[in-house]
Structure 1
Amino acid sequence: MPASVPFRRGRRTVVGGVALLVVLYVVVVVLYAVSGDVGGVTRGDPDGEHVQLDVQPQLVDAAGNRIPATLEVRSGGRLDPDNLELDTLPVLSSDLELLVTDTDGSRTVTFPANQVLSPVSLRFISSGEIEVWPFDTYTVKTTIVAYRTVAGPPERLPLQVFPTGHVPGWTITATSEKVGAVISTDAGIEKVESFVITAHRSGATIAFGIVLLALMVAMPVLVLIVAVTVLRGRRKVEASFMSWMGAMLFATIPLRTFLPGSPPIGSWVDFTVVLWVIGALIVGLAIYVAAWLRWSGPGPAPSPAPAALDSVADSGESGPASAP
């Protein structure tokens, strides 16, 4: 076989590897650029009838199964008929009370009348399993009911809820279920809409995690290739490679903690990837030690120490020469 054939194959392999890395880089960057926006129901213009409420998720607390968010009244509907522009802060003529389910703490939020309304922070309780990272999904099904608090029985107001905001690393969608819950009123049982928030990790986060796991798998593969090649006697044993293999072993845990979203210890990645990466690195190091014992001969024998002068008499010098 001509010597140029292996060279061409090696060059094609290198070019193919570089092209694959470039494609992965472009895919990850594009996914990152298009991720993070909260989507779902599109907000329309105020109609003077419905209270319009913006729900803006701030982040996703995957470990605690919580989604912190802010509530902001964009239009008070019949409570502020003179302020129908979205860029105008509503000032309500009567107190507005919201009943919000599936949240931590108090589930009643009150917006006082005759004041500029400020956003209110709360934490929605979500359901999901972080152990299946990065394919974990978190869902919140909340019911928000608006009331006008006046003398006598509270008056329920028509309400529209809209998702908004940007959460890096997550894709969040919000939908409404027409018959999601029921409430008890003076008129009996009444059906109300439920607001469903669904959060899953963005494509960029998933791609980032998969690429990082692939790089972790590549480490023991390289170590085993070097170790087996040296054991077969096809390459020279160099003790310095043991330090390189040890560095690979100690680099595994920092790479594990660098995974986006910090999956907890005991996630599926530990059982299917991390554990076997560490095991393969240990095996590669053991094979290389065996190769070192097999092919490394004993070192040169130490040279004998220079013999000490026995005595002045043995050298023929008994002191200063006596005068004849």
Structure 2
Amino acid sequence: MRKITPVAKVVAVALTVVIAAGLGLWLYSADRTAGDTGHWAGSHAPDRIEVNASVLKVDAAAREAVLRVLVVPLGRFGEDDGVAPTGELRLLSSSSLRDDRVFPAHQRISSLDIPIALTGGAVTDYPFDGYEARIEFAAVHSGEPAPVLFTLDKVDSLFSFSVKDYRATEDQGGLDVRFSRSASVLVFALFMMITMWGLAIAVFFGARHLIARRKGLVWPSFGFMAATLFALAGFRNLAPGSPPIGSLLDYTAFLWAEVVIALCVVVAVVTGAITEQGKPDS
């Protein structure tokens, strides 16, 4: 059998690091590209109302997302390069958004944070949960409908979104959107599941060794097992997005890992105590 040289080992380790880093950069680039991709629906007429929205935050537990919206009247509808409307501007929104907004004539328009209601999905499906929303805007300028161009992008790094349908007419722009966990959240959640099972299996084999070899009460080993039991609870709370107890993450990994580790600690200690009692006094 050919012996592996130290140089070959160093090269293999270096290649492994480079491949892992490259995979991480690829995942980051894909996630970043998805976040920078904007979607639009509506009219590109020179005289129009632009509604530029960014998804600031998605709160799955509250079934709500927050949009930061900037309204820009262009052409004959705006003045000072879209800073203010030339007449009273009323922004009408779909039922998933709470209120319509009114901008007085010749007054500067500021950005708005607008909550939208999410439908479908359940937060307990974490990290595979998904939610839907219909986001539509129309505008009325000085009592008359105005063409609208609606654009949407995202800022929240914990979620990605995809457009299921584009809703565009001359005086209305809208999107049917589906929100799902971002690639980084999925990767980290899967890593947590694998790690939890890995630690549980490690504790199981450690306890099996102590019991099979009749090692007795080996307190450093018991300390490691008990520390793992409580460390997993803290590790689980690091899950991005803070999923509630009872989510898919818990039923597929966390709860089972806790049960396995707890049983291993109890059985190993009881067996160790029985073994110690059977030993002759020195």
After TM superposition, the score normalised by the length of structure 1 is 0.72
SS of the aligned residue for 2:218 comes to coil
Is contact 2:43-2:148 (8 Å) kept? no
Is contact 2:164-2:175 (8 Å) kept? yes
SS of the aligned residue for 2:84 comes to coil
Instruction: Decide whether aligned partners of structure 1 residues 108 and 42 sit closer, same or farther in structure 2, where only a CA change above 3 A counts.
Output: closer
Is contact 1:39-1:174 (8 Å) kept? no
Q: State percent identity of aligned pairs.
A: 21
Instruction: Say yes or no: does 1:115 pair with 2:95.
Output: no
Is contact 2:84-2:109 (8 Å) kept? yes
SS of the aligned residue for 1:117 comes to coil
Distance 1:212 1:163 in 2: 32
Match for residue 194 of structure 1 among 174, 183, 195: 174
SS of the aligned residue for 1:161 comes to strand
Is contact 1:28-1:204 (8 Å) kept? no
User: How far apart are residue 143 of structure 1 and its match?
Assistant: 2.3
Instruction: Decide whether aligned partners of structure 1 residues 249 and 17 sit closer, same or farther in structure 2, where only a CA change above 3 A counts.
Output: farther
Number of residue pairs matched? 272
User: How far apart are residue 238 of structure 1 and its match?
Assistant: 2.0
1:197-224 deviation per Cα after TM superposition (whole angstroms, max 9, x unaligned): 3221111110011101211111111111
Match of 1:211 in 2: 191
Matches within 5 A, 1:1-324: 26-28=22-24, 30-35=26-31, 37=35, 39-41=37-39, 47-80=45-78, 88-103=81-96, 105=98, 107-127=99-119, 128-149=121-142, 154-174=143-163, 177-178=166-167, 193-233=173-213, 238-293=218-273, 295-296=275-276, 297-298=278-279, 300=281
SS of the aligned residue for 1:156 comes to strand
SS of the aligned residue for 1:64 comes to coil
Instruction: Decide whether aligned partners of structure 1 residues 63 and 116 sit closer, same or farther in structure 2, where only a CA change above 3 A counts.
Output: same
SS of the aligned residue for 2:249 comes to helix
Instruction: Decide whether aligned partners of structure 1 residues 212 and 197 sit closer, same or farther in structure 2, where only a CA change above 3 A counts.
Output: same
Instruction: Decide whether aligned partners of structure 1 residues 170 and 23 sit closer, same or farther in structure 2, where only a CA change above 3 A counts.
Output: farther
Unmatched runs of 5 consecutive residues or more in structure 2: 5-10
Instruction: Decide whether aligned partners of structure 1 residues 260 and 147 sit closer, same or farther in structure 2, where only a CA change above 3 A counts.
Output: same
Q: When you count helix as a share of all residues, which structure comes out higher? A: 2
Instruction: Decide whether aligned partners of structure 1 residues 104 and 73 sit closer, same or farther in structure 2, where only a CA change above 3 A counts.
Output: closer
Unmatched runs of 5 consecutive residues or more in structure 1: 9-14, 181-189, 302-324
Distance 2:20 2:248 in 1: 23
User: How far apart are residue 299 of structure 1 and its match?
Assistant: 6.7
Instruction: Decide whether aligned partners of structure 1 residues 63 and 258 sit closer, same or farther in structure 2, where only a CA change above 3 A counts.
Output: same
Is contact 1:59-1:69 (8 Å) kept? yes
Instruction: Decide whether aligned partners of structure 1 residues 21 and 270 sit closer, same or farther in structure 2, where only a CA change above 3 A counts.
Output: farther
Q: Which of 163-172 and 108-117 deviates more?
A: 163-172
User: How far apart are residue 240 of structure 1 and its match?
Assistant: 2.0
What code does the residue aligned with 1:228 have?
R
What code does the residue aligned with 2:113 have?
S
CA RMSD for the aligned pairs?
A: 3.5
SS of the aligned residue for 1:71 comes to strand
Distance 2:212 2:82 in 1: 77
Is contact 2:31-2:182 (8 Å) kept? yes
Distance 2:168 2:45 in 1: 23
